Amino acid sequence: MDVSHLEILEGLRPPSQLEDLTIEGYKSAMYPSWLLDGSYFENLESFTLANCCGIGSLPPNTEIFRHCLTLTLENVPNMKTLSFLPEGLTSLSIVGCPLLVFTTNNDELEHHDYRESITRANNLETQLVLIWEADSDSDIRRTLLSEHSSMKKLTELMDTDISGNLQTIESALKIERDEALVKEDIIKVWLCCHEERMRFIYSRKLARGAEFMQMSLEKLCVYNCVLSADFFCGDWPHLDDILLSGCRSSSSLHVGDLTSLESFSLYHFPDLCTLEGLSSLQLHHVHLIDVPKLTTESISQFRVQRSLYISSSVMLNHMLSAEGFVVPEFLSLESCKEPSVSFEESANFTSVKCLRLCNCEMRSPPGNMKCLSSLTKLDIYDCPKISSIPDLPSSLQHICIWGCELLKESCRAPEGESWPKIAHIRWKEFR
């Protein structure tokens, strides 16, 4: 325990009228006395813990949070439990808390998902080798570093000793870039660690989301945690915004009866195959970025009214083929890895007014963009491989090109190859 941090925070007693409290970089495992006194703060509405390596739980006196509306936990690596949440909470954000694991109490579901996870290990090994062959060494090292850090934290709670395997991963990270990593050996070691992680996760008996989240919750953000299939099975009549990013999960998530939900965002969900409970929802905003296993049946449930952010043109075309689906007026292809993209010509794109291509690896925008007959704005951000513009719809009035050096050169007036295709556009932005 870092006594000096505790002494300093003890002496920094804030005024009792404080409404917003953020504790950042705190290394002690204990809270100062004024955070243990439930009657000290008169109207604390927002509480944040950021980069606090010693804290393992919230202050135990729930009275201190009687007026709290916003709770944020960011990079609190030893946070293990949430025994309660403030009664009037409207916004919850959890980022970088690897020991905070949300699982289910349903034994049958646990063992089914666990067996399924372990059974897939042999197939996964082959797939990972192929992926590694196609991926960059820097991406692999970054992933190994993240996994090593997460698993090292989990070892503090696990009965099984995986320190030897973790040492192998750590040694691989120290290899110089011009030395070849032994791919198969590293993948086998990682899979051994992953298997123990899954065994640990499915053996823990923690409350599902419905048992600790307050009915007053309006916004929920969860980053880099582990979610069970029924994490969202609850009655949250005011919840209108869900953002989940970088989470491990069972193959299925049931969203439940969230009648007020307007915005639903999934980023980097490698395990998720099916989403249930969305068919009755008319969502305003949807983000589906890097959810590679999501099934056609799940995709076809979405009904989006205002904006759709998606990373796969295949997934987009599945949506377009669903009966009753109408493309929203804002459409964004984000982090798309496909070298070429085309829109489903039979689909109706007349509702689309703004198209955005962001951080994509395609070499040119979709060639059949004239089917977007109502398009008024085109954004192309951070797409370094795009070097030219196709024929554009006559309705286009505004084009933004940011962080695309090849394309900016192609659009240079008056000699650029693509200049004749954009010369008539009223507003042009280049950065």
Tens-place pLDDT, residues 346-394: 788 899 999 999 999 999 898 888 889 999 999 999 999 999 999 999 9
Looking up tokens 């010509």, which residue turns up?
345
Give 127's Cβ-side CA count (13 Å radius).
Answer: 6
**C-alpha dihedral (331, 308, 291, 76), degrees to nearest 10:** 120
**Distance from the Cα of residue 321 to its chain's centroid:** 26
H/E run at residue 334: strand 330-334
pLDDT at 139: 60
90 Cβ neighbours under 8 A, 6+ residues apart: 69, 70, 216, 217, 218, 219, 238
Distances (CA, A) of 218 to 235, 259, 293, 423, 425: 12, 12, 28, 46, 41
Predicted confidence (pLDDT) per residue in 1-57, tens digit: 567 889 899 998 899 899 999 999 999 989 999 998 888 888 999 999 999 988 988
Residue whose C-alpha is closest to residue 206's, from 235, 226, 185, 176: 226
H/E run at residue 218: none
φ, ψ dihedrals at 74, nearest 5°: -130, 115
**Tokens standing for residue 323:** 């009966």
Residue 111 confidence (pLDDT) above 60: no
**What residue ranges do the domains of the chain occupy?**
1-100, 111-201, 215-302, 320-431
Predicted confidence (pLDDT) per residue in 247-281, tens digit: 878 788 887 678 889 999 999 998 899 888 777 78
Confidence of residue 240 (pLDDT cuts 50, 70, 90): very high
As a residue count, the chain comes to 431
H/E run at residue 409: helix 405-410
pLDDT at 2: 60
